Amino acid sequence: MIKLIENFPSNLSEGFDIAHSLVKINLSGITNVVISGLGGSGIGGSILSNLVLSHCKYPVTINKSYKIPGFVNSGTLFIACSYSGNTEETMSAVNQAFDKNARVIGVTSGGELQAFCESNSFPYTIVPGGLPPRAAFGYAFSQLLGIVAQFEGSPNYLEQLKGAVSLLNQEQTNIKNEAIKIAEVLHETTPIIYCEDSLEGVAVRFRQQINENAKMLCWHHVLPEMNHNEIVGWVNESHNHSVVFLKTSDELKSNLPRFDYVEEIVNKYTTSVLTINAKGVNPLEKWLYLIHLTDFVSVYLSDLSGVDPVEVDVIENLKKRLKAI
C-alpha cells in the first residue's frame, strides 16, 4: 500500500490527461450536475463538490444511494463513478438517470458501467484497473477534475494540478516523516477529525482511510456546525480519543476564534491533540497535500497495529451476502 500512495502524484497527472483527451462535454442545456458514487469511488466527487462550490455556475449534488434526486432530468449532467464498474448502488442510480434522460458520463475501470456507457453511446473515462478502489483516488479525482475544467468560469485546473504534483514530489520525504509522527500520536486511540466545512471532503477521505487501511473507528465534524452540538459532548476526560485539526490558512476569519475555542476545550479533556497544516498556494494544492499526508498516516497506523492495509474482507463478505439474496 505504501508504494501505491507514493505513486499518488503521478496518478493525478495521468488521470487528468486521460479525462482531458477522452471526454468532451456538450454543456448546452445543462442546469445541474450530479456525481454518483460510494466509498473509494465516491470520495472524489465529495471533494470536488467542495472545491467548485464558490465558482461553479451549476449546482453540484453528491449522490451515495440506490435512488437519485427527484430533480434529475434532461438538464442533468450525471457523472457515475464506480471503480469496478459493478457497484450495485451506482448502477441502480445511473439506470434511473438514464430513464430521466440525463446526460451520463462514466468514470470506471470497466465492468457493467463501461458496458452501459458503450451500449448507450455515453462518454466515459477509464481508470487503470487492478487496484484497491481507494488507491485509485488519484486517477478518479483528476479525471473528474478534467471534466469540470470544461465548465465555464472554472480556474485553470491543469496548471493548478501541475503545481500540486510538483509540490507533492518535492515534499514527499517530509510528508512521510510527518505522517509517521502523527500516526504515533493517533495509535491506540479513536481519532476525531475537525476542519472547516469547506474541507469536509478531505476530512471524510482521512476518516475512510483510517477505517479501511488501519481498521480503526474514527469520526469527523466541521466548523462552524459542531459549535452548535458536538462541542457540548466534551465534558469528560478521555485518553482514548485523539483530535486532529486540518487547516489550510484559507479558513474564514469568522471561524478562527471558533477553532481557538474548540482547541481550548478539547485540550482540557485529552492530551492527544494536533494540527496538520497544509502547504500550497491554492486550495487544490493544499487539499491534495493534506490527502497525500493523511493517506500515509493511515498506512503507518496499520503498521503500528500490525494489520493488513489492503484487506477489506468484511466489505467483500457483505457484497457476497447481498448477491445471494
Point out the residues that are catalytic.
212, 228, 319
Q: Which of 37, 124, 33 is nearest to 89 (CA)?
A: 37
The DSSP line for 87-142 is -HHHHHHHHHHHHTT-EEEEEESSHHHHHHHHHTT--EEEPPSSS-GGGGHHHHHH
Contact criterion met (CB below 8 Å) for 7 and 138 = yes
The H-assigned helical ranges of 240-325 are 256-266, 283-305, 313-324
Contact criterion met (CB below 8 Å) for 207 and 194 = no
Hey, how many other C-beta atoms are within 10 angstroms of the C-beta on 105? Answer: 24
Residue type, 110: G
User: Which residues make Cβ contacts (< 8 Å) with residue 70, sequence separation at least 6?
Assistant: none
